[in-house]
Structure 1
Amino acid sequence: MGTFYENNPDLRGYFENLPIDVKNRILKSGVEISTLGELMQAAEHIRETNG
């Protein structure tokens, strides 16, 4: 089983363009992401809490 973005081209493209620290935090969080909107929301939350 791959990660959430490997089977979805929309998610993969967006995820691969995120800063490495944001990608790592999303992966380590264990959050379940199945839509581009969820991925965008998770990335924005991390950016906001990173200060």
Structure 2
Amino acid sequence: MSADFYKANPDLYEYFNSLPPAVQKQITESGAEISTLGELIQCAQHLMQS
């Protein structure tokens, strides 16, 4: 999903925007279908631990 998706979704925007740019890029390029804040948090934490 593109960064615009996260920016347009108020439930996800604040958290997505708080992530380091490299993690934001990985999430948007991964093609993961993230629709909830919980999924976004899990994905971001996984990427930051890798």
TM range (shorter): 0.7 to 0.9
TM-score by length of 2: 0.84
Considering only aligned residues, what root-mean-square deviation do their CA atoms show, in Å?
A: 1.3
Q: Quote how far apart the aligned CAs of 1:7 are.
A: 3.1
Larger Rg: 1
Counterpart of 2:7 in 1: which secondary structure? coil
Gaps of 5+ in 1: none
More helix by share: 2
TM-score by length of 1: 0.83
Count how many residue pairs are aligned between Structure 1 and Structure 2: 48
Q: Quote how far apart the aligned CAs of 1:10 are.
A: 1.7
Gaps of 5+ in 2: none
Q: Quote how far apart the aligned CAs of 1:19 are.
A: 0.3
